[in-house]
Amino acid sequence: MKKWLQVSRPVNPRAKLILGILSFVLPVALWCLVSYAPAIWHPQVLITDPGSVSYLQPGMRMDRSAFDGAAADAQAAHMPLPTGVPSNPIYLPAPDEVARAFYTSFTTAPETRDGQWLHESLWHSIQIIFWGFVISSVIGVPLGVLSGAYAPVARLTEPFIEFFRYLPAPAFGALAVAILGIYDGPKIAIIVIGTLFQQVLIIANTTRKLDGALVEAALTLGAKNSQLLRSVVIPAILPDLYRDQRILLGWAWTYLIIAELIGTTSGITFFITQQARFQHFANVYAAIAMIGILGLGMDMILALIGRQIFPWDRGLVKTA
């Protein structure tokens, strides 16, 4: 144990893999335990046979104390007893139900005529994220690099950005609808507002951390101002900038649900709210998990690409 918990001690590759798997297995195991061991929690009873109790129906869930009361009443009246199995509340489906929902939610037709299939919803959400992130980056990356490289630019922009980043993006929802309508415009705008200001500050900071000796070396080699930015500053920070962008993309995903609630609810959010309304909670969990899988998957692909396009970067070796 002493060997394991030592500050800054690296973990060997096998242990790393095992720990990585455990980090997913442990929460799922806990969920299984709560779902499949009737002794643990299960505060409700799922009615299998209403017996003589008129207000019960098969498939109904009720609190255990209420069920016990009904059963006691029936016993006192010498009538057939209701039967049921201990169950969890409907908002906590078992892992197998959610696993099944992963498949069935794709094969189930939309419940309403104007509804979308799940894959259409997901695709719509991905497009919102994509455009929000692209627009934010087109403004944020150059502004961040310039702020980091040139102190006057930083002094001019950063105080306002520092102020603005404390404003919660959803607060601009109503405004965005008024300006951009009710469809995708305001949703993309919310993601831009949520991402852009952090992006400028983070990238400016990354640019500022650039090793000054590299700039000085370039100066003594005859590089001039714009050349310095183009052929030293930008290539030098590129791997870190790429890492920042990966983190910021994750950030953009967390704004997705709020963004999609603005104006007409759309995308995966529409699917989730719709399924919750019909109490198909397994589908809700599956959809939420899908967002996580999409986000994590995309980040892993980007990390892989990063390793390919920056073969000289040592930072990735350290963090990987």
Partner 1 sequence: MNQIVSPLQTLPSYLDQSASVRARFERLKQRETILEVRHLEKVFQQNGHETVALHDINFSTYRREFLCVIGASGCGKSTLARIIAGLEEKSGGEVLLENRPVDGPGTDRGMVFQGYTLFPWLTVKKNVMFGPQANGHSRLEAERQALQWLALVGLEKFADAYPHQLSGGMKQRVAIVRALANQPRILLMDEPFGALDAQTRCRMQSHLLEIWRQIDITIVFITHDLEEAIFLADRILVLSPHPGQVQELIEVPVPRPRSAAQIVSPEFLATKTRLEELIYSAPHEDEGDSYPPMIRLADVHDSVE
Closer to partner 1 by CB, 48 or 225: give it: 225
- Number of CB atoms found within 10 A of residue 263's CB: 20
d(CA 298, CA 290): 12
Buried b (16+ CB within 10 A) or exposed e, 286-304: bbeebbeebbeebeeeeee
Least distance from partner 1 to the Cβ atom of residue 147, Å:
22
d(CA 119, CA 107): 10
DSSP one-letter string for 205-221: HHHHTS-HHHHHHHHHT
Least distance from partner 1 to the Cβ atom of residue 199, Å:
22
Q: From 1-9, 16-24, 35-43, 308-316, give the range in contact with partner 1 by CB under 8 A.
A: 308-316
What SS3 state is found at 179? helix
Q: Does 318 bind partner 1 (CB under 8 A)?
A: no
| 12 DSSP assignment | P
Q: Does 151 bind partner 1 (CB under 8 A)?
A: no
Among 38, 142, 235, 250, binds partner 1 (CB under 8 A): 235
Among 94, 238, 288, 289, binds partner 1 (CB under 8 A): 238
Among 32, 214, 258, 298, binds partner 1 (CB under 8 A): 214
Least distance from partner 1 to the Cβ atom of residue 311, Å:
7
Closer to partner 1 by CB, 210 or 298: give it: 210
| 320 DSSP assignment | -
Least distance from partner 1 to the Cβ atom of residue 154, Å:
22
Residues in region 215-234 near partner 1 by CB under 8 A: 216-224, 227, 231-232
The answer to whether 87 and 97 are in contact (CB under 8 A) is no
Q: Does 316 bind partner 1 (CB under 8 A)?
A: no
d(CA 75, CA 46): 19
For residue 251, CA distances in Å to 194, 197, 248, 299 come to 8, 12, 5, 12
Closer to partner 1 by CB, 13 or 222: give it: 222
Least distance from partner 1 to the Cβ atom of residue 146, Å:
20
Q: Does 18 bind partner 1 (CB under 8 A)?
A: no
55 burial level (CB within 10 Å; 0-12, 13-18, 19+): exposed
Least distance from partner 1 to the Cβ atom of residue 209, Å:
14
Q: How many residues bind partner 1 (CB under 8 A)?
A: 23
Interface positions with partner 1 (CB under 8 A): 211, 213-214, 216-224, 227, 231-232, 235-236, 238, 310-314
